[in-house]
Structure 1
Amino acid sequence: MIYKNKIPLSYIFNELKTPLFFVSLIAIFTAVLPFFFSSFLSNIPISIATTLGVAISILLSYMINQSYERWWEARKIWGEIVNDSRTLVLQLQMYVDEGNQEIQNISYRQVCWGYYLGQALRKETSSKIPKRFLSEDDIKLVNDHKHKPLCLLSLQNMNIRELHKMGKIDKFSQIKIEETLASLTASMGKCERIKNTVFPAIYRYGLHTTIYLFVIFLSLSVAFELQHFMLQFFILLIVSTVFFFLEKAAFRMQDPFENIPTDTPITSIAETIESNILQLLGEDASSVTINSANKFYVL
């Protein structure tokens, strides 16, 4: 997604149009119903709707809190990914001799890793991954691998091991860089845990049903009967809109990797990683050239 400060009103309308349509039908139905069952419905107290409203508030509070925690955890993980990506390049520049081509190759690979991870989390079949940062050998290996971000991390590990074998870095430097790669792997696993751990559906279905019951009992209660049907209709619509909006917000935030306006802006973060790494290398996107001589990888 492209990160936006404002959520489009059209998106909010599309999220709420179905429940508000059913609320409108309920309002019309309950307005007609008293003409046929006036003696029965005249005894429905508003305390039933009040009790349901309190229950809805408690459930909404719980769902919003849990959903925000999942969303915030995802954002913190991607913050760690940004820091580890910067650290990886800084370590390469510190431990490897200046001018070594592998500094550039590993850094470019890290740029692509952020995009590939975002694509994997969103289960996208295609995205605008800047493959110009990868050599032809790397592209072939990644395309043949089911878990593309893991494949890139494997290539990074092999590249570091090869640098150590060739005497370009010492054992201490190898260990420190591998610790950074291990942290990136852990962050990837945390994102996948959030993605694959489903928020209990019973909470949403129970809350959704309770809101409809609240609307029904509120519209039928004696204390809510107004002289003008349209006034009663709009009040019912406004009250239910607040509940449904909060319920939808909680539902959408619980899945931060779904490529919707409310999710974690991982594409924007991946672009930040790209910009930061290129700046550390003293380059810009238009000056990227790839050395395709890397042929020692075997997966």
Structure 2
Amino acid sequence: MLLKKNIPFGYVFGKIKYEILMVAVYSMLVNILYYQYGYKNISIPIAVPMVLGTVLSLLLAFRSNQGYDRWWEARTIWGAIVNDSRSLSRQILTLTASDYPSEELESFRERFIKRQAAWCYSLGQSLRKTDPLKGLERLLSRRELNYVMKYDNVPAALLLLHGRDIKLALENGWINNYQQVSLDQTLSKLCDSMGKCERIKNTIFPATYSLYTHFTLLFFIVLLPFALIDSLGFMEIPLVVAISASFLLIERMGISLQDPFENKPTDTPVTTIARTIERDLRQMLHEQHDPQQEEVLDHPKYYVL
């Protein structure tokens, strides 16, 4: 997600404010013990945390790369959903073209294309574990809503309705067998994209790796004040806080990126993408698009390109 505006400073450090406060208090206690009470033997060689910091940097880099790969894969999948949604709508409008268009055919096209826009919203909302039917009453008929309510996987139910409508179009002579196959292939691509998103959502990052990395980070922070106390004096406190904040922020960044469907400012902007798809599909139907709807983004504080 590309941001036009900078992320607020308070949002970034708000994620680690309690950890930073604890580190500051801990560093201050070490400083007091060393200078006020004369515990000079608590200092350790700086090489000890340096070696541990090097190992920790490699672990955090690996985690961040893996988290970004998951985030980028999710964004790539939703890019494919945009393309396939446009392709499916184009096929419906062009392959069902007739010299004598009927009211039934026009109703079929409108129902099908609006249902595709509803599918995009429903998929994004189901991935975020929110109500997959929220806001779909303006795109689906009451009959369609009652039908998909019976299913646990609402996006899959909407694709099933797509498939039934394609069969109906074949029976009515609006498309031929070859066109049916082409439409069904596009539906299969959408189904594949849905499955890939569900795989990312349901495949958690190994808990043991996260736990071991976090323990290593805590051990590094615990040792850091003892390595700097002998040479920096009181300045050891802000330096330890700054170094600890850097490592903690990198860890949190990896955690945020590894879950691209958690409805956070750092996740894949599925609602915004679905809004773009709806705009394009409505314009294919020659419907007037309400520009105010484009202001409804995933996170109002952040503006995406």
Instruction: Check whether TM > 0.5.
Output: yes
Distance 1:144 1:2, change over 3 A: farther
Unaligned runs of 5+ in 1: 287-299
CA contact (8 A) 2:125 2:131 kept: yes
Shift of 1:8: 3.0
Q: Could you tell me which of 243, 249, 254 is aligned with 2:253?
A: 249
Distance 1:146 1:4, change over 3 A: farther
Q: Which string of whole-angstrom CA distances, capped at 9 and with x for unpartnered residues, describes residues 141-185 of structure 1?
A: 122221111110000001101111222210000000000000000
- Describe the SS at the equivalent of 1:226: helix
Output the CA distance in 1 between the equivalents of 2:239 and 2:274.
45
Alignment match, 1:31:
31
1:201 and 2:202 correspond: no
Distance 1:80 1:224, change over 3 A: farther
CA contact (8 A) 2:121 2:132 kept: no
Shift of 1:27: 0.7
Q: Which string of whole-angstrom CA distances, capped at 9 and with x for unpartnered residues, describes residues 261-294 of structure 1?
A: 10000000000100110111111246xxxxxxxx
Q: Which string of whole-angstrom CA distances, capped at 9 and with x for unpartnered residues, describes residues 227-261 of structure 1?
A: 3x2x2211111111111111101110000000001
CA contact (8 A) 1:7 1:261 kept: no
- Describe the SS at the equivalent of 2:263: coil
Distance 1:212 1:170, change over 3 A: same
Alignment match, 2:92:
92
Distance 1:161 1:4, change over 3 A: farther
Shift of 1:36: 6.0
Unaligned runs of 5+ in 2: 291-305
Of stretches 165-174 and 8-17 in structure 1, the one that deviates more from structure 2 is: 8-17
2:213 corresponds to which letter in structure 1? L
1:260 and 2:264 correspond: yes
Output the CA distance in 1 between the equivalents of 2:190 and 2:152.
18
Alpha-carbon RMSD: 2.1
Shift of 1:126: 6.7
- Describe the SS at the equivalent of 2:232: coil
Output the CA distance in 2 between the equivalents of 1:251 and 1:27.
26
Q: Could you tell me which of 268, 274, 284 is aligned with 1:270?
A: 274
Of stretches 73-82 and 138-147 in structure 1, the one that deviates more from structure 2 is: 138-147
2:246 corresponds to which letter in structure 1? V
Q: Superposition pairs for residues 19-168 of structure 1, below 5 Å?
A: 19-34=19-34, 38=39, 40-42=41-43, 44-98=44-98, 99=101, 100=105, 101-125=107-131, 128-168=134-174
Shift of 1:46: 0.7
TM-score when normalising by structure 1: 0.88
Percent identity, aligned pairs only, is 38
Of stretches 164-173 and 215-224 in structure 1, the one that deviates more from structure 2 is: 215-224
TM-score when normalising by structure 2: 0.87
2:48 corresponds to which letter in structure 1? I
- Describe the SS at the equivalent of 1:20: helix
The number of aligned residues is 283
